Structure 1
Amino acid sequence: MRIVDLFSGAGGLTFGFYYNLIDGQFVRNENCDIIFANEFDHAAAEAFRMNFPDINMIERDIKKLKREDIVQLIGDEEIDLIIGGPPCQSYSTIGRRVYDDKAKLYNEYYRLLNIIRPRMFLFENVKGLLSMKDENGNSIIEDIRNKFEHIDDNLGYRIVYDTLDAVRYGIPQHRERVFIIGIRNDLDIEWNFPEGDDQEITLFQAISDFPPIESGQEITEYGECVPQNEYQRLMRGNTEELTCHFLAVYGDKIQTVMNHVIPGEGREYINRLVDEGVLGEEYRLTSGYKNTYGRLYADQPCTTITNNMSTPSGLRCIHYEQNRALTPREGARIQSFPDWFHFSGNRKQIKTQIGNAVPPLLAIRLATELERILA
């Protein structure tokens, strides 16, 4: 299967086509040949190169990928599949939604479909895509459907899309994302999204084998902590050096809040403690959403991992037991990145690479089904 990988980031979606999951191990999938990948962000592109050194990474603004460049990259053989999803921040229902240049990047996906003309494509984005409108009030998902179904007089793609929750595919996290499948209209192919599982992996089951860590620390060894279950063994693999297990230095207010908040509670709970006199007025929280400064449950899957996974004032991300936020490596583990997967850049860039990614285990499930019907 010949694949082109767009908006690749550090490679969460890529991972699902690069590896198979066999007998509790990630094994290179020799049936998938990723011809080239494209990513604009330098740190993400560098992380991609570290993890997939044999894939041709084109680090360039997709708008500057010209027809002649693409034709030369893909050669004479047909491309079976394009994978990838444009940046999703503009569509997100968390924060300010705006129809900006990033929101319009699906038009570049459309342009490359016209050039490459693959048999199928896989397009991923946040659930907010379904309700997003352009500056004229027109539905973005309908614009995507209309454009992709009628690329020109001879080419179009039948569109199937659904919202999948990662928790149903072996990932210890509730993460709803829209996946759009396009099938070239000259092909007699039927697509059904893979069925999920009923059994959920809890946050405790996912990350309880990481060594304890405190404000300002960075820990690079697992020490005496050993994997306790199948998921932890899969994620740990043969990794010996622990990376990205670090925390910022917390000030008194943030640390005090984390010391007092209980599982399932957040900002409003802390303010009740202030009202009751348990905490002083200086600890009142006056900004943020209802689920900010929230402590996670040990016995439930995690809430959605974002690039604010280590920011208590961002979203619910306080460790179920320790008085701290999640570390980036814990966030990566919750996303189902194995511990040996590398991230690149400064701390903010690393968290962005993790928070923006498609969970690799979900990618594997999608890749398996696509490989089956395209074989």
Structure 2
Amino acid sequence: MIRVVDLFSGAGGLTFGFKNRIENNTFIESNEFDILFANEINKNASDAFLLNFPEIPMLNCSITDINESYLQEKNIDYTDVDLVIGGPPCQSFSTVGKRQYDERAKMYQEYRRVLTFVQPKVFLFENVTGLLSMKNDEKLPVLEDIKKSFSDFSDFGIDLSYEIKDSVLNAKHFGIPQNRERVFLIGIRKDLEIVHDWQFPAPEIDNEFLTLEDAIGDLPSLGNGETKHLYENAPYTNYQRLMRNQCNYLMNHVNGTNGEKMLTIMQAVIPGEGRNYINSLVESGALDQKYYLTSGYDNTYGKLWWDRPSSTITNNLTTPSSLRCIHPIQNRALTPREGARIQSFPDTFQFIGAIKSINSQIGNAVPPLLAMVIAQQLKDFFDENFLIGRE
């Protein structure tokens, strides 16, 4: 088995992909990877992780607390680690936010510090594409700074170095109904004898991507402020059948309560349009002046397309005034369960906390199906280079 540590785990999107595979359009538990421990500072996310992966030790603490003494006190095995996976907080790098090179932006340095005593053969690092254009305190590209720091650990007084490979992967190319690009770094320890070089997974789908309807079309319709816990329709796509995962109780399918102004705006906007479209209706006299929107970005108050992949799911997926998240054929925003479906979490996957916290657990995650593709690629890489004959 490949021995793994999951840092900044969230509710467990990466772990799900490493602990499961798909056979006959059904999720099957995989035993190829042994997750030695996971770390997540957010209590709700760590509780959700434990709920879904009760057999994996979870350290609900800041990564800054984790050192060899701490792991020994917790009786956590961190010896002979093959792989570290995880992505530090991405909000500082997001092109939507303030893009500040703040303490959260520097958390990759803590990820790096953990590598100094875990010293895995390989690590997987994930973050938003905003990382590509973010600058550090010296106005240099953050990504290059990160890659350079992972290539040389001499500042710790140890002989440790990784060869870094990076790529941008889009979830829609791997059977996920979401246009979601993310940066992935793979680090391979330079002291190892690598025969077969690492290759990122090639896109599996170049067109005819899964659509929003393919993902959530079977879920019950909801009125203003309504919640439903029972399925009303049979799944009619393979993706819907996979996501049902033999679930018979619908969790987190709740619609918020909106006032008259928001209901009117959501009804008026058309798929693919948003704030500017509403304002154009006001300017033309088609809508009353009271509906004019003075705040937000061009794609806030945006309505999704039914016949295309979803836009990138964010932490505000249930807030209609946020980035594009209005349902294309119902007068409401997405529900947390719809967001989870779009991210490729099965309906059996449980989240913990209030809606805001649940949305963060969903929006921050690596889509499990994408994690599954990467996990298979890593398994093949380990089999070719390290694990032949190892049990």
Normalised to the residue count of structure 1, the TM-score between the two structures is 0.97
| Kept in 1: contact 2:36–2:78 (CA 8 A) | no
Measure how far apart 1:194 and its partner are: 0.6
The Cα of 1:23 is off from its aligned counterpart by 1.6
Greater Cα offset, 338-347 or 187-196: 187-196
Are 2:163 and 1:163 equivalent residues in the alignment? no
- Deviation of the 1:251 alpha carbon: 1.0
8 Å CA contact 2:179–2:310 kept in 1: the answer is yes
Per-residue deviation, 1:154: 2.1
Q: Deviations over 1:202-242 (max 9, x none)?
A: 1111100000002211111112x110010000000210000
State the alpha-carbon separation in 2 of the partners of residues 3 and 228 from structure 1.
37
Q: 2:125 aligns with which of 120, 123, 126?
A: 123
| CA pair 79-304 structure 1, distance change in 2 beyond 3 A | same
Name the structure 1 match of 2:14.
13
Q: Secondary structure at the match of 2:27?
A: strand
Distance 1:359 1:158 in 2: 26
Question: 2:364 is aligned with what amino acid?
Answer: N
2-side partners of 1:77 and 1:84: how far apart?
18
Separation in 2, partners of 1:103, 1:369: 28
CA contact (8 A) 2:67 2:114 kept: no
CA–CA distance in 1 between the matches of 2:76 and 2:129? 31
Asked if structure 1 preserves the Cα contact closer than 8 Å seen for 2:93 and 2:134, the reply is: yes
Deviates more, 1:268-277 or 1:113-122: 268-277
Partner of 1:82: 84
User: Could you tell which deviates more after superposition, 130-139 or 17-26?
Assistant: 130-139
Query: 1:216 matched to which residue of 2?
Result: 225
1:266 aligns with 2:274: yes
Q: How does 1:338-349 map to 2 (within 5 A)?
A: 338-349=346-357
User: Retained in 1: the 8 A contact 2:166–2:183?
Assistant: yes
Which residue of 1 is the match for residue 381 of structure 2?
A: 373
The 5-angstrom pairing of residues 16-55 of structure 1 reads: 16-55=17-56
1:50-65 aligned within 5 A = 50-65=51-66
Q: What is the CA distance between 1:74 and its match in structure 2?
A: 5.2
Q: 1:194 aligns with which of 201, 204, 207?
A: 201
The match for 1:246 among 246, 254, 264 is 254
Cα–Cα, structure 1 residues 338 and 76, in superposed 2: closer, same or farther, change >3 Å?
closer
Amino acid of the structure 2 residue aligned with 1:101: E
CA distance in 1 between counterparts of 2:146 and 2:72 reads: 24
Give the Cα separation in 1 of the matches to 2:143 and 2:71.
26
1:138 counterpart residue number: 140
Query: In the alignment, residue 21 of structure 1 is paired with which amino acid?
Result: I
> 1:69, 1:143 → 2: CA distance?
29
Structure 1 outlier segments of 4+, above 3 Å: 70-77
Q: Distance between the aligned counterparts of 1:46 and 1:213, measured in 2?
A: 28
Partner Cα separation in structure 1 for residue 330 and residue 288 of structure 2: 22
Question: What is the rounded CA distance, in whole Å, between the counterparts of 1:45 and 1:75 in structure 2?
Answer: 19
Which 5+ residue runs of structure 2 have no aligned equivalent?
384-391
Decide which of 75, 100, 104 is 2:106's aligned counterpart: 104
Query: Aligned-pair distance for 1:76?
Result: 7.0
- Paired residues in the alignment total 374
Please, which runs of 5 or more residues in structure 1 have no aligned partner?
A: none
> Could you tell me the TM-score, scaled by structure 2's length?
0.93
Tell me the secondary structure at the aligned position of residue 193 of structure 1.
coil
Alignment-derived partner of residue 362 in structure 1: 370
Determine whether 1:336 maps to 2:344.
yes
Q: Greater CA deviation, 18-27 or 202-211? A: 18-27
2:95 alignment counterpart: 93
% identity of equivalent residues: 52
Q: Deviations over 1:53-109 (max 9, x none)?
A: 100001111101122223575537411100000010000010211111111100011
| Equivalent in 272, 281, 292 of residue 284 of structure 1 | 292
Match of 2:330 among 318, 322, 328: 322
**1:242 partner amino acid:** L
Asked if the contact 2:71–2:78 (Cα under 8 Å) also holds between the matched residues in 1, the reply is no
SS, match of residue 167 in structure 1: helix
Alignment CA distance shift 1:370-1:275 (3 Å)? same
Give the 3-state SS of the residue equivalent to 2:106 in structure 1: coil
Q: Deviations over 1:151-172 (max 9, x none)?
A: 2352110000011111001100
Query: Which amino acid is 1:195 matched to?
Result: A
